[in-house]
A and B are shown apart, each in its own frame.
Chain A
Amino acid sequence: MTITALIAEDEPLLAADLRAELERLWPDLRVIASVGHGEAAWRETLTLQPDVLFLDIRMPGMTGLEAAQALAEDWPDNDAQPFPLIVFVTAYDQYALQAFDRAAVDYLVKPVQSERLAQTCSRLQAALRQRHGTSSLDGLVQQLRGLVGSGAPGAPAPATGAGSLRVIQAAAGNAIHMVPVDEVLYFEAADKYVRVITADREHLIRTSLRELQPQLDAQRFWQIHRGTIVRCDAVASALRDESGKLTLTLRGHADRLTVSRLYAHRFKAM
């Protein structure tokens, strides 16, 4: 069985060089795709399901860490294809280096030197030999949990006046609706907007979830997915199905919300 790899790097020269170096150092490895931004990395990885993923950290659109987070959330649960082994590549991101220092996944610093890349290749080969099930996914989920709330790149930076937002001001035609945050059941990211769902209606605000989150009280508003933040006292119950997937039901609303595996640890019995 050939080993497949995907390269995500926004700088064309560096991507081409990494590909050439990999071909030289590891002839059995087949680079099946090379993409230039985070979203493409996430989409193509889900479709092509490579064994190894080289992820640049700073990329346009979605960063490498965000792409890894999205993959960890969306990777199918069946064991048919194990989660790719991720190697982060970065020019200079101290936080990322520290965060992945004790990591099962490797990281490379640009300019990538051949000897160092050879070391990474043998590390990957060893990991591939003893890989089974979703073990690498579990390891990554653990690390990403640490990163998500730690001010590392990819996680929202705490802003001044954190958690102080009282009302959501949502435009509708030429009126502005003042929606108290206490009435909001959950927020959901929708492209360049955020949907604000209350018990009886829904508003759209032109902001990103990432900009909104620091303004919300973290004790009351829990992130449960990269695209969903729920007010915790609006949650009625959390149900786990046979495959381990966690779903929330809400008080006074029929919607059901999916909790990604990155945030599932928040819902435990006392």
Chain B
Amino acid sequence: MFFAPRPQDGTLTRFAWRGVRIFIVGGILSVTGALLFAKNFGAAMAYSLSITMMCWFFIDGGINAVASLIYRHDPECRAGATKWPAWPWTVAVILGGTIVGHSLGVALGNLVTGYDMPGLLNSDYRRALGLLAVALLPGIATTYFFYSRHRLASSEAVAQTAQRQAAENQLRLLESQLEPHMLFNTLANLRVLIGIDPPRAQLMLDRLIAFLRATLVASRETRHPLSSEFARIADYLALMKIRMGDRLQTQLQLPPELADWPVPPLLLQPLVENAIKHGLEPHVDGGRLHVSAERRGAHLVLQVRDTGAGLSAGAASPRGTRFGLQQVRERLHTLHGAAATLDLEPATDAEGGTLATIRIPLTPP
């Protein structure tokens, strides 16, 4: 529709736009009606338009006023968010708005035409009820029309917000996995290796390719076998080993009976990355990283353990950690609800460091 408010317009502007549209539609209907049925075209037009506009003014204005009053009283309520009051309020406003609007419309019509048509309030009750029923119909129809348009617009807005958030999350996940510091340091090492040890450089490049491919695909697939998860972690750790040398010792432990178990792709990646970034990399002597999977009762238990700097030192480091953990928790929650958990705690034995534990129910997803 070419007469339409823009989304950024304020409440008053939108109100005025609705008025213009009502005037046009009401005008067309009045002209048609007056041409077909009325003896006096001008007078019929005057009454019809003034009643239409008055009714619109009081119903639409009433709904907006009630909505904003409710909102001011209780900003948390639904009417505040949707700018539309609950049904009983709407019905009351339509009824009241029609009575007041019709009476004032008739009065205005009388003023313009010089006739003396009786309004709702100074007719006998049967005529008044008849008038009211006729006057209510367009009010209800129009209100319903605007209400459904409003609902459509707000559900579209909600869907758009959800979509934008999902895209943003995916981007952040990708960004956190393709951390520039990791990527450029790996490429710097690769560049050196090409000169001094080409076969090893080739091996490293293969690992990097597998890691990058998994990172890009992870955002599209919902699950892959645990053996693939461990293979991708092995790729990542191999890259890190070339960079950190003897400072990084790794151990991966996957029982064969769990190899085919489906898990969300790169679920463990943020935990492994955190263990290196906040546990082992800042630790002058480096340490050991142990990734394991095991069956414990009705649960699949995945653990990432490092012997690095530990949690208290990690707490002071930048917020990257939180995003990684939050990401893992969100993905677990989406797939398993409250049944799957992630815990991060200080390792209890003498070697110290941090232990991250994921528990997933062993019921086939």
A residues near B (Cβ < 8 Å) are 10-14, 16-17, 36-37, 39, 58, 60-61, 91-93, 109-112, 157, 207-208, 210-211
Could you list 9 examples of A-B contacts with CB < 8 Å?
A11-B188, A13-B242, A13-B243, A39-B284, A61-B283, A92-B181, A111-B184, A210-B316, A211-B316
A44 to chain B, nearest CB (A): 14
What A residues does B247 contact at CB under 8 A? 10, 60
Given contacts A11-B245, A60-B281, A211-B316, contact A17 B192 (CB under 8 A): yes
- When A and B form their complex, which 10 residue pairs have the shortest distance between CB atoms, in order from nearest? A111-B188, A92-B180, A91-B184, A110-B188, A17-B192, A111-B191, A91-B185, A61-B284, A12-B245, A211-B316
Given contacts A91-B180, A91-B185, A157-B318, contact A60 B191 (CB under 8 A): no
What B residues does A60 contact at CB under 8 A? 247, 281-284, 286
B316 near A14 with CB under 8 A, answer no
Say if the beta carbon of B193 comes within 8 Å of chain A: yes
A111 near B187 with CB under 8 A, answer yes
B96 to chain A, nearest CB (A): 50
Say if the beta carbon of B117 comes within 8 Å of chain A: no
B177 to chain A, nearest CB (A): 15
Contact mask for chain B residues 178-216; partner A; CB cutoff 8 A; 1 contact, 0 none: 001101110111011101100000000000000000000
Interface size, chain B (Cβ < 8 Å): 28
B284 near A11 with CB under 8 A, answer no
What B residues does A58 contact at CB under 8 A? 181, 281
Say if the beta carbon of B244 comes within 8 Å of chain A: yes
A11 near B244 with CB under 8 A, answer yes
Q: Closest residue of chain A to B246, judged by CB?
A: A12
- Distance A157 CA – B318 CA, assembled complex (angstroms): 8
What B residues does A110 contact at CB under 8 A? 184-185, 188
A11 near B185 with CB under 8 A, answer yes
What B residues does A92 contact at CB under 8 A? 180-181, 183-184
What B residues does A14 contact at CB under 8 A? 185, 188-189, 192
Main secondary structure of the interface of B (DSSP, over half): helix
Count contacts between A and B, CB distance < 8 Å.
64
A14 to chain B, nearest CB (A): 6
Q: Closest residue of chain A to B185, judged by CB?
A: A91
Q: Closest residue of chain B to A40, judged by CB?
A: B284
- Distance A36 CA – B244 CA, assembled complex (angstroms): 10
For window 277-332 of B, CB contacts with A under 8 Å fall at 281-284, 286, 312-313, 315-316, 318
- Set A17, A61, A109: member contacting B282, Cβ < 8 A: A61
Given contacts A60-B282, A61-B284, contact A91 B188 (CB under 8 A): yes
Given A11-B185, A13-B189, A91-B188, 6 more contacts at CB 8 Å? Answer: A58-B281, A91-B180, A92-B180, A109-B184, A110-B185, A208-B316
- Distance A60 CA – B195 CA, assembled complex (angstroms): 27
- Set A10, A39, A93, A112: member contacting B188, Cβ < 8 A: A112
Given contacts A11-B244, A111-B188, A211-B316, contact A37 B181 (CB under 8 A): no
- Distance A39 CA – B282 CA, assembled complex (angstroms): 12
- Distance A60 CA – B187 CA, assembled complex (angstroms): 20
- Distance A39 CA – B283 CA, assembled complex (angstroms): 12
Q: Closest residue of chain A to B277, judged by CB?
A: A58
What A residues does B244 contact at CB under 8 A? 10-11
Max chain B C-beta neighbours (<10 A), residue from A16, A17, A39 = A17
B181 near A91 with CB under 8 A, answer yes
What A residues does B283 contact at CB under 8 A? 60-61
A37 near B191 with CB under 8 A, answer no
A147 to chain B, nearest CB (A): 16
What A residues does B245 contact at CB under 8 A? 11-13
- Distance A112 CA – B192 CA, assembled complex (angstroms): 10
Q: Closest residue of chain B to A18, judged by CB?
A: B192
B189 near A11 with CB under 8 A, answer yes
A11 near B243 with CB under 8 A, answer yes
What B residues does A93 contact at CB under 8 A? 181
What B residues does A210 contact at CB under 8 A? 316
What B residues does A109 contact at CB under 8 A? 184
- Distance A133 CA – B283 CA, assembled complex (angstroms): 36
Q: Closest residue of chain B to A63, judged by CB?
A: B282
- Distance A109 CA – B183 CA, assembled complex (angstroms): 13
- Distance A111 CA – B189 CA, assembled complex (angstroms): 8
Q: Closest residue of chain A to B313, judged by CB?
A: A208
- Distance A210 CA – B282 CA, assembled complex (angstroms): 15
- Distance A211 CA – B195 CA, assembled complex (angstroms): 43
Given contacts A14-B192, A208-B316, contact A37 B185 (CB under 8 A): no
What A residues does B196 contact at CB under 8 A? 17
- Distance A152 CA – B189 CA, assembled complex (angstroms): 26
What B residues does A17 contact at CB under 8 A? 192, 195-196
